[in-house]
Amino acid sequence: MTDFAARRADMVERQLRARGIEDERVLAAMGEVPREAFVPERLQRRAYADSALPIGAEQTISQPWVVAAICQALALRGDERVLEVGTGSGYSAAVLARLAAEVIGIERHESLARGAAAALAGVGVDNVRLLVGDGSRGYPERAPYGAIAVHASAPAPPPALIAQLAEGGRLVVPIAAAAGDDLTLLRRYGDRVESEVIAPCRFVPLIGEEGF
């Protein structure tokens, strides 16, 4: 029988801590969330591989380091409302749910949203609200957000998402570049937006009004 707990602990140390993830809250959350609950059953033995995995609908569950890097860049304190664009399997939402007060996830594939809802309920997460729709436009009904995480590559920083950030809020989004994608942190201060590239990455495209 696979010892998922041991693999998860090893993932935290070898894939995350050893590669620059220093936020102890993020490391703890990644060590608590059972990634195997968010991948297809046939792939559960690969749940802690250092790679993305297919989850259906031509989408993937992100590499663990990418999930941790996004969460670390968001610098969550625990009292924020977080918007997540591209919820996919629900794995990153489960991690964010341990770091923030409330998570609103938007997924454009209804089948994935249903699966994510079931997986989140299965591991006892009750502070994530899932919606089906165009995540590139955000969800202004619950704005402003202390943080926004986007799990798909955008052609440019989506203006609608920036507008929904609270003062000092953080948005992490992959931005399409010539040689791949740049995982990018944006901070909003009034009408001014500061930008910082975290790392190169590879994501599926953001499909929608402010995506591709």
Other CB atoms within 10 Å distance of the CB of residue 197: 12
Catalytic residue among 51, 62, 92, 153: 62
- Measured distance CA(111)–CA(26) in Å, rounded: 28
Sorted by sequence, the CB contacts under 8 Å of residue 167 that are 6+ apart come out as: 144, 188, 189, 190
Secondary structure in 3-state letters for 16-53 = HHHHCCCCHHHHHHHHHCCHHHHCCHHHHHHCCCCCCE
Instruction: State the amino acid at position 101 in one-letter form.
Output: A
112 half-sphere exposure, CB direction, 13 A CA radius: 25
| Nearby residues of 78 by Cβ (< 8 Å), 6 or more positions away | 25, 99, 100, 101
Cβ of 141: how many Cβ atoms within 10 Å?
8
Name the one residue in this structure whose structure tokens are 């664009």.
85
CA distances from 206 to 69, 87, 141 (A): 19, 12, 21
Active site residue 62: yes
What are the helix and strand counts (H, E) for the chain?
6, 9
List the catalytic residues. 62
